[in-house]
Each structure stands twice: as C-alpha cells, then as structure tokens.
Amino acid sequence: MARTASGIGAIAPGALLVRGDRIVFAGAEAEMPAAGARPREEIDCEGRWITPGLIDCHTHLVYAGNRATEFEMRLRGATYQEIAAKGGGILSTLRSTRTATAQQLIAESLPRLDALIAEGVTAVEIKSGYGLDLATERRLLQTARELGRMRNIHVHTTFLGAHAVPPEMAGNADAYIDEVVRGMLPALASEGLVDSVDGFCENIAFSPAQIARVFEVASALRLRVRLHADQLSNLGGARLAAIHAALSADHLEHSDEASIEALARAGTVAVLLPGAFYFLRETKQPPVDLLRKHGVPMAVATDSNPGTSPLTSLLLAMNMAATQFRMTVEECLAGVTREAARALGMENDRGTLEAGKLADFAVWNIDDPAELVYRIGFNPLHSRLWRGR
Ligand code: DI6
Ligand code: FE
C-alpha cells in the first residue's frame, strides 16, 4: 500500500485490537501486544483500508416534504433569496414539517440517515430549525434522538431555533428571539434534547446582535455554540462565532482574514459545505488558503437540507470539497473524521484510530485512500463497525 509516510498517518500492514466498544491498540501488525488474553474473535480484512467511521458534522436531516419545485424556479432564474422573501424557502419546509407527525418525520428522515450509514458514517449532527415553535422544535429533536436509537449511529442534536422568523411573527425578529431565549432554548435544554446551539446569521435571517443574545443564553446553560456564518454575505458571523468560542463556524464563503485569525485563536473549526455551494451555484469560494495559513482546522459536511443542499452522500461532499474548493485528499479525509469530531466536541472519543477511542470504523474496498475522494457516485464501503459492533 502506498503512502505509509503521508499526512494521514497510514499504517500498513496495520492491526486494531478492540475490547468492548473501545480501541485498545491501533498500530502496526508486528507491534500488536502479545500479552493478555487472545482475542475472542479475529477479523482478517484481507488488506483492505480501514478508516475511522465517517462523521457528518452539519446536517438538517429531519424535516418533511421537499423543495423540488423551488429548485425548478431557480432553474428558471429566481434566486434563493427571492424565493425566501416570497414565503418559500425555509418557511415552505416549516409548513410541511409542522403538520407532520413524529412517525411521518421518521419515515421521511430514516432513508436519508440510511444513505449516510451506507457510506460508513458512524456519527451525525442533526439540527432542528424547521419548526420554530416549541412543540415542533421539540418533535424534531426527539425525532433526531429516536433515529439514533433506531440505528447503530451516534446522533449529536443541535437546536437551531434562530434559523428564520416564523410566519406568525413576521417582521418581529426581536420578539421571536425573546421566545427562543426565554422559552424554547431553556425548556429544550432542560429536557436533555440539546447537545449544541446554532444560528443562521444572514440578511435573510438574524443579525449578529440577535444571534449574540442566543449565544449568551446558551453559554449560561453551559451549551457550546456553532454558527451558519458568512455564507451569502459578510455580517461578521465568523467573528461572532470566535468571540463565543464556538465549536464550529460553518460555510464562511464571505469571511475576511481578520475573522479567520479570530477563529484560529478561538480554536473554532471551519466547516466547509460544498453541497450548498454547488447547489446554489455560488462563485465566491471559501477562503481555504487563509484557513490553511492561520491553521484553522477544516471539516467537510453534507449540510443535508431540502433547500440548499439536498445531499445525502458524505463521499460526494469530499469529492466536491476537492474539486470546488481545492482541498487536498488528506484535508478531505481529516475533514470527515478528525476535524469533524472536533467540530462536535467529541475528539476524545471519535475521529481517529487510537487506543482509548470508540471502535467506530469503516472498511473499504480501495487500493489507495485517494479513491474515497476521487470517485463520483460510487460507494466502495466493505463494512462498518459501530462501537465494536
Ligand atoms: N443551511 C441553512 O440552514 C440554510 N442554508 C444552509 O446552508 C437554509 C436551509 C434551507 O433553505 O432550508
Ligand atoms: Fe446548514
């Protein structure tokens, strides 16, 4: 196997020793500890490549309906912002989601989750944000947790109450933020439904001042934050994320160098979302060179959502990150493993193959890791282990 000395730390021939749900040894086959009990079960991967289980660290996977007709409108020339301003966009998904039962939400979302799982994904972040009232946001987060119980996958839930202003409060964004910070967020957090808190900082959504109010309450509740920042314009979203020591700042197409330096100082992960860039036919590239220059860790995710990224393939997101954003193979691989784990605050348990971490692996029918990035629409997964199972 090639590239034993590459940046991804490949080891060939390698061996992994698992006890319960944890890795106890990861390294060269020749250095496998001989002491102790012989393994109860030995699996010969026949020279296949093993990577950490993939992690999709930014999705809006749970919603009802779809926006194919809005896609057609955009093909005829309407812009995403124009459709949103006319009550379409996020609000059209909100209408179908509010009327969906928990069972319908599961029935529609499970195939999306299964598509990710089929590609070796072992942990996924799922945001709320298509309910925008307490009862529906709760149902979305409960559905996300339920999906995690139904499949062998770890689900990280994110409360995205500050996604859009709901129709019943149109023109009254500040009053809606009052509801988010006084009602929804404290209630859902106390019910144990929230692992982190997100917002959409954009002209068509919320201002930095409004997002800051959400982040202050999140911090008071000891919840980490993340932000949809600088996707369509530069409102200073990345800078705001850095001030609040966000786990991640996501999109970043319009971020300037000062914001990126702030992200570096804060240890915030940049999550790049090439599916949305592709689907909206954006031309403003995220500043990958600046992120590299300042040492900001870069993750790659699907942003799976009905409006801007109806994508349920993390492998395709890797290919898009390389093709569109000129990310290297090593960066794409780290972006869906090590850095994605960091973006979810789970780097102690996941994201690399190391003793002490959870035994989440993907086994691939490939000759070189570059194949995971290079192919388009082909899935070379051989098998997948989640917590040693
Ligand atoms: N993530 C989002 O939350 C928005 N864009 C993005 O990349 C809007 C999603 C939507 O239109 O439903
Ligand atoms: Fe998103």
Residue 199 forms beta bridges with which residues?
Answer: 162
- 89 C-alpha to center of ligand 1: Å? 8
Atom 10 (ligand 1): residue with closest C-alpha?
Answer: 307
Closest ligand to Cα 248:
2
Model pTM above 0.85: yes
Cα(14) to centroid(ligand 1), Å: 41
- Ligand 1 atom closest to residue 306's alpha carbon, by position in its atom list: 12
pLDDT on residue 6: 52
Average pLDDT over residues 218-234: 97
- The pLDDT-based confidence of 87 (bands split at 50, 70, 90) is confident
CA of 294 to the centre of ligand 2 (A): 24
Is 5 in contact with 18 (CB distance < 8 Å)? no
Whether the predicted pLDDT of 5 surpasses 70: no
- Tell me how far the alpha carbon of residue 168 lies from the centroid of ligand 2, in angstroms: 23
CA-303 nearest atom, ligand 1: 7
Mutate to test the pocket of ligand 1, among 57, 163, 308 (most ligand atoms within 8 A of CB): 308
Check residue 268 and report its DSSP letter.
Answer: P
Least confident among 36-50, 94-108, 206-220, 242-256 = 36-50
Main-chain dihedrals φ then ψ at residue 18, nearest 5 degrees: -120, 135
Neighbours of 47 (CB within 10 A): 9
Pairing of strands 14-19, 22-28: antiparallel
Distance, CA 79 to ligand 1 centroid (Å)? 14
Percent of the chain with pLDDT over 70: 97
Residue matched to tokens 């034993």: 4
Alpha-carbon gap, residue 196 to 219, rounded angstroms = 10
Q: Which atom of ligand 1 is nearest to the CA of 160?
A: 3
Residues with CB under 6 A from ligand 1: 60, 89-90, 93, 163, 200, 228, 276, 303, 305-309
- Contacts (Cβ under 8 Å, ≥6 apart) of 35: none
Contact yes or no for 266/246 (Cβ under 8 A): yes
Residue nearest ligand 1's atom 6 by CA: 308
User: Given pLDDT bands bounded at 50, 70 and 90, which one contains residue 23?
Assistant: very high
Does residue 35 carry a pLDDT above 60?
A: no
